[in-house]
Structure formats: C-alpha cells, structure tokens
Structure 1
Amino acid sequence: MSKHKKHTNLERRNSDNFAPNEIAILGTNCTIISDLVHKVSEKLSNYKLAYFDASHAKSINCARDDSNYVLSEYTFHHKGNVQITTSGYVNVYQQRLDFAQYDYVFINGNHYQGAKQILILDEAKEASVLKRLEQLDSIQFIIKLKKETEFFSFLVEKYPKIKNKICYTIDQVDKISMHINNLIQEKIAPIKGLVLVGGKSTRMGTDKSELSYYGKPQKEFAKELLENSNLETFYSVEKVINNEDEISDKFLNLGPFGGICSAFQKDPNSAWLVLATDVPFINDEIIQQLLKHRNPSKVATAIKGKNKEFVEPLISIYEPKAYPILLQYLAQGYSCPRKMLINSDVEIVEIDDDFIRNINTKEEFEMAKKEIHNRL
C-alpha cells in the first residue's frame, strides 16, 4: 500500500539539526567551550556566527541531561555580543528560522547534539564523553587540552580511525579558526541565473523581453550574459510552456518579487543572480564585477548607481538566507524586493548610472538601440 501524502513535497533548504551549518563542541566544561567559541569568533568576524548554548543560570544544572526544556541562550558573536534568552521547549523548526541568517552556528555539545562535532579531549571529562559516545558520528577534528593526552580506549574501540583525525591543542586558535573557515567555505551556495520575463510592459506597449538591441530578443541576450559566467540560467515566467529552462510563478500577481520567491521554491539551496530585461546596457564586465564582489555572508550582493539613492533589486545576487526574509516581508503585506534589500544587510557594488538605465518607453527603446548600435 502506498503511503498517503497530505502535503505538497516542497524542496527544502539543506539544514543540520538546528541551523544550515553547525558544529557541536563537546568533551570539556562549558566555560572552556564558550571561551574557545569567543576566540574563534573574533578571528572569523567577517562571518555571521552564533553560539547556541543552554542557560547557565543558577537554577539550571549545567550537567543536566534533560536539555529539551531549558532556558536557551543564543549568543551572537559578530562585531559585538548580543544575548537573547527565551524559555520553553527547544523547537528545531523555530531554531532553523532563528539561525537561517547565520553562516555558522557553534553548539555547546554538552547540551545539544550537533550534526557535526569538534571533540575536546579533557582527561577530567572522560565519563562525559563516554556518555555522549553515540553523538560523535561526524567528528571534524580533535582538540587536546594537553598535548600528551591520550585517546580514551572506548573512543578508539568505537571509532578505530579516530587517531587519523586532524588534532590541535587548545592554544592553536589560529589553526582551529582556519579549519573552521574551510568548513564554512565548503557550504557556500552555488549561484544560478534568473532572467525576469513576462512583465506587463504597460508603458512600452509590448513585451520588453522580446525587444531586440543586439539582433536577438533581449531575454536571450540576458540569458547568454549569465551563461557566459558559467551560471545555469532560467527564465522566470508567468506560465511554463514545457521548457526545462523556465520557472513559472508560484507566487501569483507579485511581479519580480514572486519570480524571485518562485526560483527559491525551486531551489532554496542556491543563490540566484537576478537580471531584468529592461537594462540593456548591462554587460559581461558588470556581471563579472557583481560576481567578484559577492558576499555570501550578506543577504544579497546588489548593484547601485553611484548617484542613485537605492540599490537595483533586479541586478542582484540573492543568497539562500534571503528567501525566509522575503517571505517575512510578504507576510507583512510587502512585495517589493527593493524594500527588503534596503532594510537588510546587503553588499553594495557601485557602478556608473549609465549602465543601469531602465528602458520603459518606445522612445527610450529607439534611443537606446541607436546608442548600442553606435558602440558596436
């Protein structure tokens, strides 16, 4: 008998237990773990980092085994420390929302089980490690409090290859930070291209994506522009005509906002370089400049004219962390991607205003076509 499915099987963002990218540190006391996280976070301050720990209030026993119900602290180590304390059951779905904007989340493994682990060898905590032996299924590297500390016999018995793991001492903060930096880099999202077509083009009186500036429909030129940078590229359309390179709007009547969200619904694990078809002066050099300055730690990397007040939302790279923010704006009744960008942490790439001129009328089209022809 086939299993009954009540809900649509949507693509989901890849996530660990509590966050898109996490690592639990365990094997020693909570103070040493917290101190190590703080030191590493200072070294990696270019990322958005978080520390997920159980409260160490006097009413809470640090060694308490039942960590499903505690006061939970989320200490964010990025250009200063902010502490948020809440009370209640730990809800992994809520945690994934809370941590969706962070590049890496450190977890106190004495309280919560992380999908990946850093094991600290502390002779005084051998019994604690034995108790959590089954949680050590994805050790990234080992840290010793003392260089001479030997691997516990039960560790070697359970994980015969553990001695082959890279090992540091607790004072090698630079090397530990570099290793964690590499783990963060490994999970940076790939980029795909999205060409926005199918708008109403009211002022132009015809579909702007079909206009020809370079001897072919502008939508084809824009797609090739992104493909020249080795980006798998799709058209954002209102309705698919059985083409594999088209993504139809799942968020209807929301214009470009809906197209961007629909792309994320198709693939929430990629960043999307969004390009409109009414900016014909965008060229390979501009695309390369945008890609070169991409900052995956930000919500997006966006083009802005040097003399413009706001960024251009339709010449931007939207990171996977932008998707839940877009949905939050939609929940508040806003469907303007620019509003989201100007109120979020965004990397800005400034270029000359001439490159981002919007062509919206027939007169502007004729002038732009003539200018482009003269340049070729």
Structure 2
Amino acid sequence: MKKHQKHTNLTRRNNDNYAPNEIAILGTNCRNISDLVNKVSQQLSAYKLGYFDASHAKDVNENKLSEYVFHHQGNVQITTSGNVNKFQQRLQFAQYDYVFINGNHYQGAKQILILDDAKEASVLKRLEQLHNIQFIIKLKPETEYFDFLEEKYPNIKNKICYTFNEIDKIANHLNNLIQEKIAPVKGLVLVGGKSTRMGTDKAQLNYFGKPQKEVAKELLANNNLETFYSVRDFSTALEITNEIPDKFLHLGPFGGICSAFQKDPNSAWFVLATDLPFVNDDLIKLVLQKRNPSKTATAIKGKSKEFVEPLITVYEPKAYPILLQYLAQGYSCPRKMLINSDVEIVEIEDDLIRNVNTPEEFKMAKNELKNL
C-alpha cells in the first residue's frame, strides 16, 4: 500500500545543520576558536562569512525591545532575543558563503578538530560529533593524538594536520572547502511573456533564420549550461523538452525565476529574455567570467542606465529566499530585488541590451543586425 503523502515533496536547498555551508571548530577553549576564526576570516574577505557562537554570560534577561542600530556606512548592530531553531537559522544564514560554528556549544555538519592537551576531556565528551572531520589543527606542534580518538577513528592520523599558527595554510584549505560548494549554473530562457505591444510572440521572432528563443537557448547551451525554457504552461503542441512551467502564476519573469528555483534551488540560474537580440556570445561569456557567487546575483547594466537589466542576470541560490521575501511584501519585480541587494554589476555598452518590444523596433533591429 502506497504511503499517503500529506505535503508536496519539494526540492530543498542542500543545507548543513544551520547554514548552506558550515564548519564547527572544537577541541580548545572558546577564545582560541574565536581567535582562529578572526585570523582566517581576514584572508577570506572575498566571501561573506558568519560566526555562530553562544553567549558566555550567566544571566541574560530577555529584552523587551529589539534594537537595530545602523551605521551610516551600512553596518548594523542587532540586539534581540530568540531561540536557536535550525529552520530560522537557515533563513538567517542563507546569504553566507561559509559559517563558522563554535563547536563547544553547537554541532556542525563538518568539523575542524583542534588538539589541545588541556581539553582532552572536552573532546572525549563530544567524540560522537566528530563524524566529518575536514582537518586537524595542533595547538602546539608536540601535541599528541588522544588514544580514544585513534580507537574511534583509526584513520584520523591520515587527516591533513596543521599547527595553530599556520594561518595561511588553514585559510587556503577553507577556501577550497568554500569553492567546492559553489553552485553550478543553469540557463533559463524566458518565453512565457504575453508580447502585448509586439502583437505576436516575441520568442518566435526571426532575426537569425530561426525563432529567437532557439537563438537565446543556444547562446546559453553553447557555454556549457544545461538550459531550460520558462513557460506559462506545458507546450504539448510544440513538444519542447526542458521546460519549466510557471508554478508562481501571473507574476511574469519574477514567477519564471522563482519556478526555476523551486525546481532546482541548488543551482544558480542565468536568466535570459528573448527580446534582447543584440545579446551575443561575447556578452554571455563576460557575465559568466564576472560571475561572483558571493553576491546575490551578477547583473548587466548599461553605462548610461541607472538600473541593472534583470533579464540578463545570473541569480545565485541565495537570491531565492530574497525573491520570496519580496513576494511576501507584495512585490514581483526582479529589478527591485536586485537594486536593493548585494549584486555584482557588469557595465557594458547600452546598445547590446536594447529591448525590442514593437513591430517598428523589430524591423529596425533586424535591419541593423544584418549589417553587423
């Protein structure tokens, strides 16, 4: 008998315990852990990093007023209260490339074990937490492995081992761990528009001897991106494979982007509209070259334009929860999200990102493209 499933089985983002990518540091006192995190973070400044720790104050009263103090340069200091909840923490840490956890207080999905003679009993108490050690750090070069560690994990001496002052090597190892989880990029060609001003489907317009949607798909696919069409519904008549129908209905491109993330929240999505016939292979390569996975997105902006172009953009997985937050506030404009988020901007000549929306613009664009 088939088991009844009460809720829709959605694809989830690959999270660790509290963050998309985390590592717990344990085996020594909290001051050493904090010191290590601060030192390696200085060498990993290209990433957005977080540190998850516990207060050491004995008595903390729940504050009745949450305070948000914003510095004029953009920093914010938040004083609030709440309980540790992995679902809430995943929302808070969704924008971080890497989160360090004080393993003396919270358990991480991956671990760095610091060997400190003074903390042998503490390590023994947390022995079961050391199931995914990435590398070892010796507080002092002469520190020996504890016998119980070798009994529990016979291969532990085969793990890479550093000394506490080898910050460069430790930071380089962490950099590799961050790089390993950078999301792959997939392509999304938006073909679900109504084309009201054009009077005919813009995705079917012929600039280069074939429908423009095929040209757009090839631009992405030729750059080794698995590419899908974003459609309002399944197109059985056209028998198009690799379609993503809108699950977020009547929201235009915003709904198409969210539907792609619902299908695969663990990939970045290179979104490309079909009403941009001057976009070429060089431009696609430039965006991929300039892609910054630490940002919410990598977007194009014309040199004389005030705002970015949201439909030639690589949206990172961390963009998905932000898009949903905007939707919860009643906004369905991807440009509004980009303007108010941490985005990598690639400036180019305006002519390359001209939209073609009317029959007159189509004729002009087609004639111009013939002469290129």
- Give the CA deviation at 1:84: 4.1
**Any idea what the Cα deviations from partners look like across 1:235-286, whole Å, max 9, x if unmatched?**
0000012543100000000000000000000000000000000000000000
Measure the CA separation in 2 of the matches of 1:45 and 1:152.
Answer: 34
Measure the CA separation in 2 of the matches of 1:25 and 1:85.
Answer: 25
Measure the CA separation in 2 of the matches of 1:252 and 1:341.
Answer: 21
Cross-structure match for 2:300:
303
Structure-2-length-normalised TM-score: 0.94
Give aligned-pair identity as a percent.
Answer: 79
> How does 1:68-79 map onto structure 2 within 5 Å?
none
Cross-structure match for 1:72:
none
Cross-structure match for 1:73:
none
Q: Which amino acid aligns with 1:56?
A: H
**Any idea what the Cα deviations from partners look like across 1:280-309, whole Å, max 9, x if unmatched?**
000000000000000000000000001100
Measure the CA separation in 2 of the matches of 1:224 and 1:56.
Answer: 57
Measure the CA separation in 2 of the matches of 1:158 and 1:57.
Answer: 34
Cross-structure match for 2:354:
357
Cross-structure match for 1:244:
241
Q: Say yes or no: does 1:90 pair with 2:84.
A: yes
- In structure 1, the residue corresponding to 2:12 is in which secondary structure? coil
Q: Which amino acid aligns with 2:141?
A: K
Measure the CA separation in 2 of the matches of 1:30 and 1:83.
Answer: 22
- In structure 1, the residue corresponding to 2:53 is in which secondary structure? strand
Q: Which amino acid aligns with 1:241?
A: S
- In structure 2, the residue corresponding to 1:5 is in which secondary structure? coil
The answer on whether the counterparts of 1:198 and 1:207 sit within 8 Å (CA) in structure 2 is: no
Cross-structure match for 2:170:
176
Measure the CA separation in 2 of the matches of 1:145 and 1:305.
Answer: 52
**Any idea what the Cα deviations from partners look like across 1:153-208, whole Å, max 9, x if unmatched?**
00000000000000001101111000000000000000000000121111110110
Cross-structure match for 2:117:
123
Structure 1 vs Structure 2 CA RMSD: 1.4
Measure the CA separation in 2 of the matches of 1:139 and 1:85.
Answer: 33
Measure the CA separation in 1 of the matches of 2:135 and 2:348.
Answer: 43
Q: Which amino acid aligns with 1:308?
A: K
The answer on whether the counterparts of 1:278 and 1:358 sit within 8 Å (CA) in structure 2 is: yes
Measure the CA separation in 2 of the matches of 1:133 and 1:2.
Answer: 40
> How does 1:319-330 map onto structure 2 within 5 Å?
319-330=316-327
- In structure 2, the residue corresponding to 1:128 is in which secondary structure? helix
Measure the CA separation in 2 of the matches of 1:85 and 1:160.
Answer: 45
Cross-structure match for 2:215:
221
Cross-structure match for 2:285:
288
Q: Which amino acid aligns with 1:278?
A: D
Cross-structure match for 2:180:
186
Measure the CA separation in 2 of the matches of 1:277 and 1:367.
Answer: 16
Cross-structure match for 1:107:
101
Distance 1:31 1:285, change over 3 A: same
Q: Which amino acid aligns with 1:33?
A: I
Give the aligned length: 357
- In structure 2, the residue corresponding to 1:87 is in which secondary structure? coil
Measure the CA separation in 1 of the matches of 2:260 and 2:229.
Answer: 10
The answer on whether the counterparts of 1:249 and 1:259 sit within 8 Å (CA) in structure 2 is: yes
- In structure 2, the residue corresponding to 1:25 is in which secondary structure? strand
Cross-structure match for 2:139:
145
Q: Which amino acid aligns with 1:166?
A: I
Cross-structure match for 1:22:
22
Measure the CA separation in 1 of the matches of 2:74 and 2:134.
Answer: 27
- Give the CA deviation at 1:80: 10
